[in-house]
Structure 1
Amino acid sequence: MTVKSQNFFSPASHGFVRIACVTPKVHIADPQANLAEHLSLAKRADEAGADVVLFPELSLTGYALDDLFLQQTLQEAAKTALEDLITASRNMRPVIVCGVPMIIEGALYNLAAIIHRGECLGLVPKTYLPNYREFYEKRWFSSGHDLNENIYFAGKYIVVAANQIFVARGEDAFTIGVEICEDMWSPATPSTGLALSGAHIILNLSASPVTVGKSRVRKRICEATSERLMCAYAFSASGPGESTTDLAWDGQSLIYEMGMLLAEGERFASNTLTFADIDVDRIAQERLRTATFADARLFNKADAEAFTSFDYTPHDLTDFHRHVARFPYVPADPERLDEDCYEAFNIQVHGLMQRLSTSNTQNVVIGISGGLDSTHALIVACKAFDRLGIPRANIHGYTMQGFGTSTGSRNDAMKLMKALGISAEVLDIRPAAKRMLMDIGHPYSQGEKVYDVNFENVQAGLRTDFLFRLAGEKKGFVVGTGDLSELALGWCTYGVGDHMSHYNVNCGAPKTLIQHLIRWAAKKEFDAKTGRILQSVLEREISPELVPIEAGVIQRTEDKVGPYELQDFNLYYLTRYGLKPSKVAFLSYQAWKDKYTLPEIRKWLELFLFRFFTISQFKRSAVPNGPKLISGGALSPRGDWRAPSDGNAKIWLDELKANVPE
């Protein structure tokens, strides 16, 4: 397995395709002047590593020409400018997509010309011609709906058809489809057939005069189209220089990928370039895992009129035109985060409410350690009981002191349970643990300071034994506390502790999100006193607290399993999209390079791969029920993730070691 080029730090090495949306200064009815603008901007885009350069609709002539389109002089001048652009493109690396009017078989068409290295790969006609309000396109142009011609132009035969796919050959293969302006506003868009025929990237050459609020509408359409079709969608509209006889133009540029806005250009400006790096692998993987996409292709008999391939040479630049969120499970936008926390918290609450109702149960048992996960499970339980009208006293919380329990954790646990008004008790598991250690012949029982895994697991196992037996005594069930990150890393003892319960409200929540859920609930769902205790829990370092304090050992979970902020990042891209480890490392480096070095990122990813693929699946295969919170983010064998319990990590580790520098 090898990365597509030797430069790990180049996005092109990891399947990213760079799009440039261009807004040239328009020269009305002057194709040679427009050609000069095209050549200047295309050269700039080429130097910046663009793989595809997208110009607006009718960019070689201008859009607002009205009856000038029917002038033979203009038609011939446009054709000459296109031929000159094709010739000049020989020394340019990117695919250039521009707009031009042209007569085909006695009719005038509004066309997109797809050009690469001195050749016209194809001509795509506009299908839907607006002929309402300010638009009169049917006065000049014919629809390309049924057009499928081979014409001889610029030294070769070229296909002229709407439903064409352009395929980049080589390891970095990607596919392009093209539609023009009104095509995307139609109820039945050409882009649907293009995507189902295999196009990863849909390009829209647009004129689109601007009115108040129209930019928002364009964004909504582009966003929805890219999400529904699982594609990238690039939109480039006409800008300054177009005739303002009755209209105005803002030159809006937009690049979306599967519903996510990657880049938006400056409006009301000319000679601008807007770049974004498209993740073609991510698009392909999403389509692969979504059977509906394949069914839609089959049921709609989606077949392109032509597939035209071209040789593609990736750039070797190391700049990256794409924002990579450090916390993919946690939106950076405060409003979106608030909405996500509201939904996630209520999913958890209603999941527990349903389980209580269907099991006809009035009591639950929870182990409260004073840490993040048990704290969150407790506040979820409180709200579930409130909404069902069951007294909080029926929530039985137990703080079970072990050899390493800190005073701070114990105090926060007790304060929280008291503030929430649940039934709270302290159980000292140390006598039972000492007896078990003695019965199994552990060195600790002989006075040796041996604090190994079994020493820790005896405590974890006893806590679970107590909780299950207490649940029987209280005629209730055990609410689990283990989170999604721990399931991914296998950071739980099989059958006990964070692994086992009767119902786990936290199983769909990654560690990085749980912190925000607690913070959100503290503000939105509970009083100020409870909120202060919750804040204290948030400030404590994550630790299992199983080694005696007098041993002088400070247990930090992240020293063992890696920073949760990195491991949640790895979890997201490996399970949600199935990306290769080297690409996950590249994305992680882009997001975290101000905090972690590449060797650190590689080290923790290597640990993640080993734990996730080798030593954790048998635990995940036996997890209790619990609610899924995040799309593509569940590890239950009944949910998003299914894998053999006896798998191994070899090929993932090999790929990482071969392609990520140490």
Structure 2
Amino acid sequence: MPMSRERDFHDLYAHGMARVAAAVPQVKLADPAANAQEIARLYGHAAAAGAALVVFPELSLTGYSIDDLVQQRALLDAAELALQEVAEATAQHSALCVVGIPLQRWDRLFNCAVVLQGGRPLGVVVKSYLPCYREYYERRQFSAARDAMRDTTRVLGVEVPFGNDLIFRDRERTNFCLAVEMCEDLWVPQPPSVRAAMAGATVLANLSASNITVGKDAYRHDLVANQSARCLAAYVYAGAGSGESTTDMAWDGCAMVFENGELLTRSERYSPTSQFVMADVDLERLVQERARMTSFGDCATDHASSLGEMREIPVRFVPPAETVTIERTVERHPYVPQDPATRDERCEEVYQIQVSALAQRLSATGTERVVIGVSGGLDSTQALIVAARAMDRLELPRTNVLAYSMPGFATSERT
């Protein structure tokens, strides 16, 4: 994705980046009309702020914790009517909107994510794995993606792709390529996002209604971070929050954005009101990392036959006319952690790596002495300390380190 000559230098879309948002609306259970209004409002705010993508939680149009009520015909009809209102909101902006909805097709009910843009649906992604253990029993109400009778369906009067094999690629900013999965899909040994990433998806979205239990937040954080790192992708996670907690389960409204395993932003948990978080993801960096990590391409080659079955849907995002200034913080010293404890740990690791490597080299070559020129600068001082510690490791006297001073124009009394 080359730098655009038409946009301001300080614009993030001039540098192969994209702004993504994860939204957590305050849900009203079994009230799709009210939920559509709130979703449209949050989408509008995020899109106006320059977002190219806004992701909402699982079943966000109806609420997740309505159990068997989700099978009621009246509710399903109301949800599709509400979807129309959300679609109309997307006609006012260019950003993609991904919203959760139950859809009944072929006498079966599916847990779906509808991707909307420009006032119309582009595709329907179906949840692949339905949890039916502990506090979950989704198979009681839903069918999985594999149970679909056709690979297209009619939504809001438009025939669109239907399934778990969809990726959405921007026709001009080709590095912006979206794939969607839902909640449990991430928790299985082979998440759908793995296949999508190998097929080219750089942005992975997860519509979730993962409930909260003691200790689960840290596990979920690591799960998303690891998937982002493994897939060399941005991962946008939007979890259900306020309004869902009316049963024996509770939700914390967790929304996160990761890039290649690094957390870029995270929502306030247990917020009583609607919220969304945004982050600027570096798509060019992700594509470059995939090119450098040749084993990523090797893995894609091994699965080429199945990747060829993925369906690619063209989209076209047009950034706002005004400059979308980069809000991402770029560390002045990217290799030096700001946290003192982390910095000390990093320095100790660097030190141990050097000591271990030097000791191994000396041992392998049968060398018992080293010669070092000590100028008094930081580099030679570090080398002298490492050499002394390597002698300790090899149980050799430190006198085997032959250090010679090398005074120069910058040598001082302190030196």
TM (norm. structure 1) is 0.60
How does 1:345-424 map onto structure 2 within 5 Å? 345-402=351-408, 404-408=409-413, 412=415
Q: What corresponds to 1:87 in structure 2? A: 88
Structure 2 CA distance for partners of 1:4 and 1:172, relative to 1, 3 Å: farther
Structure 1 365/305 Cα, relative in aligned 2: closer, same or farther at 3 Å? closer
Task: Judge conservation of contact 1:161–1:305 (CA < 8 Å) in 2.
Answer: no
Which one-letter code corresponds to 2:100 in the other structure? G
- 1:623 corresponds to which residue? none
Q: Which residue of 2 aligns with 1:287?
A: 290
Give 4+ residue runs of structure 1 displaced > 6 Å after superposition: none
**Is 1:343 matched up with 2:349?**
yes
Number of the residue aligned with 1:649:
none
Residue 73 of structure 1: aligned partner: 74
User: 2:302 maps to which residue?
Assistant: 299
Residue correspondence of structure 1 range 534-613 to structure 2 within 5 A: none
CA 1:146–1:291: 2 relative to 1, 3 Å:
farther
Q: Residue 167 of structure 1 contacts residue 309 of structure 1 at CA under 8 Å; is this kept in 2?
A: yes
- 2:50 alignment counterpart: 49
Deviations 1:439-465 (A, max 9, x none): xxxxxxxxxxxxxxxxxxxxxxxxxxx
Q: Give the C-alpha shift of residue 319 in structure 1.
A: 3.4
Contact in 1 for aligned 2:3/2:14 (Cα 8 Å): no
Distance change in 2, residues 1:84/1:3 (3 Å): closer
SS in 2 for 1:407: coil
- Which of 167, 175, 178 aligns to 1:176? It is 178
Residues 73-105 of structure 1 deviation map (CA, whole Å, 9 limit, x = unaligned): 001111111123213321122100000000122
- 1:86-165 residue pairs with structure 2 within 5 A? 86-145=87-146, 147=148, 148-165=150-167
1:423-572 alignment to 2 at 5 Å? none
Match of 1:328 among 327, 334, 338: 334
Correspondence 1:18 to 2:24? no
- Ranked by relative contact order (alpha carbons within 8 Å, sequence separation 6 or more), the top structure is 2
Distance 1:63 1:357, change over 3 A: same
**Aligned counterparts, 1:25-36, within 5 A:** 25-36=26-37
Shift of the 2–123 alpha-carbon distance from structure 1 to 2, 3 Å rule, reads closer
TM-superposed deviation, 1:4: 4.9
What CA distance in whole angstroms lies between the structure 2 residues aligned with 1:134 and 1:304? 34
Following the alignment from structure 2 to structure 1, what is the Cα–Cα distance between the partners of residues 263 and 329?
Answer: 10
Percent identity of paired positions between Structure 1 and Structure 2: 41
Q: Distance in 2 between matches of 1:224 and 1:378?
A: 38
Aligned partners of 1:98 and 1:116: how far apart in 2?
Answer: 11
Structure 1: state its 5+ residue gaps: 413-662
State the 1:361 CA deviation: 1.6
The count of corresponding residues between Structure 1 and Structure 2 is 409
| CA apart distance, 1:10 | 1.1
- More strand by percentage: 2
1:113 and 1:6 mapped to 2: Cα distance?
Answer: 31
Please give the alpha-carbon distance, in whole angstroms, between the structure 2 residues aligned to 1:337 and 1:297: 36
Question: What SS class does the counterpart of residue 401 from structure 1 fall into?
Answer: coil
Aligned-partner residue type, residue 294 of structure 2: A
1:273 is aligned to 2:276 = yes
1:64 paired to 2:65: yes
Compare CA radii of gyration and give the structure with the larger one.
Answer: 1
CA distance in 1, matches of 2:292, 2:405: 43
CA contact (8 A) 2:175 2:202 kept: no
Structure 1 residues 282-303: Cα deviation after superposition (integer angstroms, max 9, x where no partner) = 1100111111111111112323
Distance 1:348 1:88 in 2: 58
Q: 1:125 to 1:220 in 2, by over 3 A?
A: same
- What runs of 5+ residues in structure 2 fail to find an aligned partner? none
What is the rounded CA distance, in whole Å, between the counterparts of 1:171 and 1:336 in structure 2?
A: 37
Between stretches 45-54 and 139-148, larger displacement belongs to 139-148
Distance 1:149 1:407, change over 3 A: closer
The answer on whether the counterparts of 1:233 and 1:257 sit within 8 Å (CA) in structure 2 is yes
Report the secondary structure of 2:128's partner residue: coil
How far apart are 1:304 and its partner, in Å?
Answer: 4.6
Deviation at 1:163, TM superposition (A): 1.6
Contact 1:194/1:304 (8 A) holds in 2:
no
Question: What secondary structure sits across from 1:151 in the alignment?
Answer: strand
